[in-house]
Amino acid sequence: MIDLIVFLTLIALGYFVGSYLEKRHYRSIREREIKYASLPTIMLKKPLHPERVKESRLVNGSVVISIDYFKRLMAALRNIFGGNITSYESLIDRARREAVLRMKENAEGADEIINLRLETSSISKNDQKGSIGSVEVFAYGTALTY
Amino acid sequence: MNITNIESIPGKTIVEHFGVVSGSTVRAKHVGRDIMAGFKNVFGGELKGYTELLAESREEAMERMTEQAKSLGANAIVNVRFSTSSVAAGAAELYVYGTAVSVQ
């Protein structure tokens, strides 16, 4: 009985707190994406005007994000029936956008970031089989100052 | 030390190659951080402790790579790549590698 109460509490906490935190995070991501829209990030290796480049340096940004209890349960159910696991989609989307934004924050004073690379790795807790749980995204590129 | 992940240093010419330089660190999770991560696993959201841990480890790997390049007499590293692999439960290896060159 107590087990059931704990389980239901965790699900409720995960659902309400988790979806609140996710909404807040998306709001902050959107605000900062508008703020940094003037700093273009491209995947090309060559700068448009190589002769005008004054300075170049490596910049990076990373984030580790975990999924909430409710979504983890939904994903486990999805594993039985198959189909899109939307809860993981939003987790990884948030992590990628956040990592790129942090990289842009680290590129203070730069005019352009070229050769963007994104690296994703899952950090499983206690190495449980098949669990994603939390994901790390690492973004890096070369910041140019004209 | 000039470091980029493209094949050149814009505005400069590569005059000498020194071969591949690399640096790596293997880090284990911290007990205190793991407890906090347990809470976060219920609510979801960023695991700040892990973000910092991995960032510090990458910094150290980069430092090791830079040291190696310096000892070879290089003044720049081009085409840098990062890679992450989990070695054992609770430990991660962070590896960074690139080509040490001399630019003018």
Q: Is a pLDDT exceeding 80 seen at residue B28?
A: no
Confidence class of residue A37 from pLDDT cuts 50, 70 and 90? confident
Does an H or E element contain A131, and which?
none
DSSP state of B30: P
Q: What is the topology classification, in CATH, of domain B2-29+58-103? A: Translation Initiation Factor IF3 (3.30.110)
Cross-chain CB nearest to B42 (options A14, A114, A127): A14
First to last CA, chain B: 13
- Angle A86-106/A69-81 helices, nearest 10 degrees? 130
Residue B78 touches chain A, beta carbons under 8 Å: no
* The predicted structure's pLDDT at residue A135: 85
Residue A33 has pLDDT above 80, yes or no: yes
> How far apart (Å, rounded) are the C-alpha atoms in residues A79 and A89?
14
Residues A58-68 pLDDT 10s: 999 999 888 88
| Contact across the interface for A123 and B50, Cβ inside 8 Å | yes
B86–A contact, CB cutoff 8 A: yes
Identify the band that residue B33 occupies on the pLDDT scale cut at 50, 70 and 90: low
Angstroms from B97 CA to nearest CA on chain A? 13
- Residue B35 is predicted with a pLDDT of 66
Distance CA A82, CA B35 (A): 32
Nearest chain B CA: its distance from A146 CA (Å): 11
pLDDT above 70 coverage of chain B, percent? 85
CA distance to A65, A96, B55, B61, per residue, from B25 (Å): 22, 23, 11, 6
Please name each of the domains of chain A with its CATH number. 2-145 (3.30.110.70)
In this prediction the ipTM stands at 0.85
The domains of chain B are located at 2-29+58-103
**pLDDT tens digits for range A5-19:** 888 888 888 888 888
CB contact under 8 A, B44 and A138: no
Angle at B20 (CA atoms; ends B5, B85), nearest 5 degrees: 70
DSSP A19: H
Question: How high is the pLDDT of residue B34?
Answer: 64
In chain B, residues with a C-beta closer than 8 Å to the C-beta of A21 are: 43-45
The nearest alpha carbon in chain A to B83 belongs to A119
Mean pLDDT of A123-127: 58
Best of A123, A124, A145 to disrupt the B interface (most B CBs within 10 Å) is A123
pLDDT at B104: 86
pLDDT value for B96: 92
Residue A124's pLDDT band (cuts 50, 70, 90): low
Per-residue pLDDT tens over the stretch B53-89: 888 889 999 999 999 999 999 999 999 999 888 777 6
Sheet with B91-103, side-by-side order of all strands: B2-3, B76-88, B91-103, B14-28
Average pLDDT over residues A19-44: 89
